[in-house]
Chains A and B, each alone.
Chain A
Amino acid sequence: MRDFVKMISVLFIVCGLAAGSLALVNAVTKEPIASNEKRQRDTAALREVSADADEFKNVVPDRVWETLRNGQKAGHIFLTQVQGYSGPITLMFGTDSDGAVTGLRVLSHTETPGLGAKITTAKFRDQFKNKRLEQLILKKDDPAEGQIDAIAGATISSRAVTKTMRSTLESFNKEKAGGNK
């Protein structure tokens, strides 16, 4: 009987100490782990739209990033939000140093599933690659210069995305030309 009590109490104490030390470690590492995960999510998006730049400098907090590849300036990344068909669309896109688009990613949206929601598909997003500012307009809005095909049945969503990319780039270029960076 005494053995029995001793076994149980030893196990109990060991488990208690283990649980206590783990609680302590968890308390210490909880913050860094959460922030790592968040940073990783963000960096994954930044990497994708910038065609694998390896360094990102947040020039305008959470709006504009300057990208570097092997220490060389590679372009910019923009985060912007626009009113779509049924709600705000948040998107991130990158440009290279010549101002051509390197990638687009829709971070969040509430467009109609099956129609406007197709702005997240690679088929729609890949059209923007290597397009320059003046080409960033729907073909149906400007048959001469336009290079972007609207999604069938979702012209408003497509136009919102295209327009906001264009206007973001325009205002960025204007600011840069004005020198008030």
Chain B
Amino acid sequence: MSQTSFRSLLKELTKGFLKENPILVIMLGLCATLACSTSATDAFGMGLAFSFVMLGSNIVVATIRKLVPSQVRIPVFIIVISTFVTIVDYSLKAYFPALSQSLGVFVPLIVVNCIVMGRAEAFSSKNAVMASLMDGIGMGIGFTLIITVIGMIREAIGNGTLFGHQVMSPQYQPFLILILPPGAFLVIGFLMALHRKIMVTFYKP
């Protein structure tokens, strides 16, 4: 593999971490982010489920991109995505029943998570398999990272625990609103502001 293509692949991989983070920058499909970040464990599980779907759909869409007429591409993407989501849903139910219960309806709802669709349409339908693979991994990591951070903040402040372990002193009165839906918006808002600050400070062209 030549030096330039390796570097461009690396760029496709890392852009999802911060520069084009699916939650903080692309801001698509926030519904799952809001709903599944009440605890760090749920958030991490959601992140992994999402990453798998993202990766699978990106690879398949990139592989068949030249065979699919553009008129029917959207239905094909949806079928591909929903197939992967169903695989994840069944596997979670079979092998991680506790996680599947707490994520509930939000695993099937990855189907309509617009980031997956958005990446299929905007990236993997126009790029080669390797680049799409990197894009999928990068988006998956970026999503998992941020949703887990949101989950940790909400769980620690709103419930006094972290991954289920008590971290605040027993006298700590949990700040309940962070576990409730408004808390998700607040935390995401603050993270977006922080992210802007970091980007403006360190990545200014």
Compute how far the CA of A30 lies from the CA of B86 in the bound complex, rounded to whole angstroms.
Answer: 13
Chain B residues positioned under 8 Å from A72 (CB to CB) = none
Encode contact with B along A4-32: 1 for CB under 8 Å, 0 otherwise. Answer: 00110011001100100110011011011
Asked if B86 and A25 make an inter-chain contact with CB atoms under 8 angstroms apart, the answer reads yes
B191 CB-CB contact with A under 8 Å: no
Asked if B91 and A25 make an inter-chain contact with CB atoms under 8 angstroms apart, the answer reads yes
Contact of A33 among B64, B68, B82, B93 (CB under 8 A): B93
Interface size on A, residues (CB 8 A): 19
B90 CB-CB contact with A under 8 Å: yes
Compute how far the CA of A28 lies from the CA of B91 in the bound complex, rounded to whole angstroms.
Answer: 9
Known contacts A3-B69, A3-B71, A21-B87; is-contact A32 B94 (Cβ 8 Å): yes
Chain A residues positioned under 8 Å from B90 (CB to CB) = 25-26, 29, 33
B76 CB-CB contact with A under 8 Å: yes
A171 CB-CB contact with B under 8 Å: no
Known contacts A21-B87, A25-B86; is-contact A6 B80 (Cβ 8 Å): no
* Minimum C-beta distance from B96 to chain A (A): 10
Chain A residues positioned under 8 Å from B76 (CB to CB) = 10-11, 14
Encode contact with A along B76-102: 1 for CB under 8 Å, 0 otherwise. Answer: 100110110011001101110100000
* Minimum C-beta distance from B82 to chain A (A): 8
Compute how far the CA of A57 lies from the CA of B54 in the bound complex, rounded to whole angstroms.
Answer: 41
Task: Enumerate 8 A-B pairs (CB-CB under 8 Å) in ascending A order.
Answer: A7-B71, A7-B72, A10-B69, A10-B72, A18-B82, A25-B86, A25-B91, A36-B97
7 further contact pairs, Cβ within 8 A, besides A7-B72, A10-B76, A14-B79: A7-B69, A18-B79, A25-B86, A25-B90, A25-B91, A33-B90, A33-B93
